[in-house]
Chains A and B, each alone.
Chain A
Amino acid sequence: MTSAISVENVSFAYSNQPVLRDVSMSIEEGEFLGLVGPNGSGKTTLLEIMLGLRSPDSGHVELFDTPVEEFTEGTRLGYVSQHSTDADSMMPVTVREVVEMGRYPHAGLRRLSSDDHAIIDEAIAKVGMEPFADRRISNLSGGQRQRAYIARALASEADLLALDEPTVGVDADVVEQFYDLLTELNEDGITIVLIEHDINTVSEYADTMACLDGELYEHCETGPFLESGALEQAFSSARAVSSRQVAGGD
């Protein structure tokens, strides 16, 4: 197996606040990773560095065995960020239009072809959003919006899907459906990296888990992970330093 993401000795600081210290990890293709850690532990920052949205201060990142700064196949990456749940974008866009965006980088300056439209329809169907395809995305619930963003990643034919706390503010029964969808996608061969605050839920679905608090505490299969004590370590160290200013930026 080759690795989808490999991170070596990555460090990052916001001005003088160190956020990540010497993090190294490798995520295999087809893995379903749950990334947990206390607030301000640098999870989002690490994810952004992995995807090439942010440059680390030091260290080396590879996406699909290509150094991240030379990686051009952006369509292989799907990202559902925390901002995706914000309803603050009042822009009138339908769900279908959002999913179409997944094909835009493929089409370049050309019009979308009938093949593109077939892929778009398929992606919408896969996440079960057909009834909402022509609805304005800002009028949908958080869970529905997340599905639309995932459909966009599917339309772009992403084989790596990164999600940053996608279920914040989503109803509990919808959360379950959402995780079932992720599991299904993972079985289709898509690598999933999921940041989640709800450790119970994520441990039910993820194959592997990693715990981060500035540094990486553990990264292994879910069963051994829960027994390893890494969680206690990370969260107790977070409690111990919680009187100190939390490193910014989350």
Chain B
Amino acid sequence: MAVEQGRQRWDVGLLAVGIPLVLLAFGAFIVWVFPPLFDLFWGGMETVFNGHWLVRSTFIQHGFTAGVLIGVTAPVVGAYLVNRQMALIGEALAHTAFGGVAIGLFVGASVPALDYPLAWAMVVAAISALGMQYIAVKTDGYADIPIAIMLTGGFAVGIAVISYGVVFSATVESYLFGDILFVPFENVQLMVGLALLVGLTIGLTHKQLKFITFDREAARLARINVWFYDTLLIVLTALVVVAAMQILGAILVAGMLVIPVAAAMQITNSFNRGLVLSVVFGQIAVIGGILLSYDLGVATGPMIIITAIVIYLGSLARGS
């Protein structure tokens, strides 16, 4: 016991030093290491695809990279949410994030220094995630009540701010429905950082999150800090949702959190295998969706979700 407690104290110390260092390392990676890697990869792809214009277009390069990253992070976070019957929390957070985007566009229009709508969205979504957590703990109501309030409330704020009328409707639409041709390189960098952060956090806390997801009471009994891990998960969700919003749009974001996971759950008995499988399905949905949308000349976000649903139906057929 004493050994274990000593180890725990050592852990806390390690985290206190480790977290800032890791964040710095991530920052350095995104700014200095990632851009040359990105160019190298797409340069290689150009050679592979013999200079096809699609691979050479920076829009596609940005969108594709962002999509692949979402195809990893969203199902990973979604796996815990779905099994906690919190599938719709992503949808609620996406709508509050949309409110954040509207506020960001509004403020950015008058104060150019603050013109980072996605950063605004992240802050607003994270705050509402914490708010939702607080409401869930403090009130006795059904779990979907705060979700419904956040979902409509966030959207209401967003539309109210937009209707004030300083924002181009095309910009608004790109956040509402997603636009793969509208991902600037800074946002790709942001998503790389986010993917690293989500990967590291989940890698470290997977055991605790899984335990709490499966059996809250037993986790509390084992003196695991349930409140801390709940908060961690919901904040991660908010970040992932904001990142995914650029491609899928506020309305479709929840699909990426839920559908690949639902498909994976149909055909595996093990949670860990399900986690891996949902990332695989997420990748198929994203890449398939992008290619199909190009092929059919249809919007990308919807095509990704439709592909995911087809995978889900396939897994239903196989599972039964």
Contact = CB atoms under 8 A, between A and B. Distances in A.
Given A53-B220, A91-B83, A104-B222, 11 more contacts: A51-B221, A73-B223, A74-B224, A81-B217, A90-B265, A91-B214, A92-B274, A93-B214, A93-B269, A97-B210, A101-B218
A79 interface: yes
Given A74-B221, A74-B222, A91 B271 contact: yes
Interface in A24-73: 51-53, 71-73
B222 A156 contact: yes
Nearest to B266: A92
A83 B269 contact: no
B318 interface: no
Contacts of B1: 73
Interface stretch (A105-113, A179-187, A188-196): A105-113
Given A105-B223, A106-B4, A134 B270 contact: yes
Nearest to A102: B222
Contacts of A152: 218
Contacts of A72: 5, 223
Leading 8 A-B pairs by shortest Cβ distance: A74-B223, A136-B269, A74-B222, A91-B83, A105-B222, A104-B207, A101-B211, A109-B204
A89 interface: yes
Nearest to A136: B269
Interface in A79-138: 79, 81, 83-84, 89-94, 97-98, 101, 104-109, 112, 134-136
A13 interface: no
A124 to B, nearest CB: 15
A72 B217 CA distance: 15
Contact of B214 (A79, A101, A134): A101
B8 A92 contact: no
A108 B214 contact: no
> What DSSP secondary structure best describes chain B's contact surface?
helix
Nearest to B205: A109
A73 B3 CA distance: 12
B225 to A, nearest CB: 11
Interface residues of A, number: 36
Contact of B221 (A79, A109, A136, A139): A79
A101 B207 CA distance: 7
Contacts of B11: 108-109
A212 B272 CA distance: 43
A89 B274 CA distance: 15
A101 B211 CA distance: 6
A81 B217 CA distance: 9
Contacts of B207: 101, 104, 107, 112
Contacts of A101: 207, 210-211, 214-215, 218
